[in-house]
Structure 1
Amino acid sequence: MRIVDHLTPDGPDKILHVRSVGCDVNIIVGTHDPNGVPFTTVEVLPHVPDDEGTRWMHLGTSNVVVMPVSHDEFPTAPPADPVSTPLQGEAQR
C-alpha cells in the first residue's frame, strides 16, 4: 500500500487524481459550502470503456462529500422514542 498525504487545499495539489484498474479516483480538497464549511469530495469515475475496450460501472454512489460533523446538524443519539419515528419502509406499529 502506498500512503499519500493530500492535505493542502491550495496550489497544484488541490486535486489528487489516481488511475486504477477500471476507474479513476479524484480527491478534491479545499472546497467549501456557501456558509464556509470546508469539505473534501471523492469521485469514482468508471472507465467507459477502458484501454482494452472493457466497460466498467459503479454500484452505489460515485461521489462522496466528507465534511466536519456538527452536533447541531447530525445528532449522535437515537430518538427518545424510536417507535414514534419509523424509518423509511418500516411499517407503522
Structure 2
Amino acid sequence: MDHTTDVPDKILHVRSVGCDVNIIVGTHDSSGVPFTTVEVLPHEPDEDGVNWLHHGTSSVLVMPVDY
C-alpha cells in the first residue's frame, strides 16, 4: 500500500455512539489498484467511561471486483 507518496482524495471521519468510523477514499496498492478503507475504532473509553470493543474485523478494504 502506498499512503505516503500520494495523499488520499477524501477522508471522512464519523463520530458515533461507541466508535469512530474513518472512510478513506483514493488509496491504492503498489500495483495501482484503487481501494477505499473503512476503519471502525471503538472508544476506549468513551466520555462516560464506558469501554467499547469491536466484534470482528475493525478494518475493511473495498476494491473493484475486476482486479
TM-score exceeds 0.5: yes
Q: TM-score, normalised by structure 2?
A: 0.85
Consecutive aligned runs of 4 or more in structure 1 exceeding 6 Å deviation: none
Pairwise CA RMSD: 1.2
Q: TM-score, normalised by structure 1?
A: 0.62
Specify which of 24, 27, 32 is matched with residue 20 of structure 2: 24
Over alpha carbons, which structure has the higher Rg? 1
Matched length: 60
| Structure number with higher relative contact order (C-alpha < 8 Å, ≥ 6 residues apart) | 2
Higher helix share: 1
Give the percent of matched residue pairs that are identical in Structure 1 and Structure 2: 78
Structure 2 gaps of 5+ residues are: 1-7
Structure 1 gaps of 5+ residues are: 1-8, 74-93
Higher strand share: 2
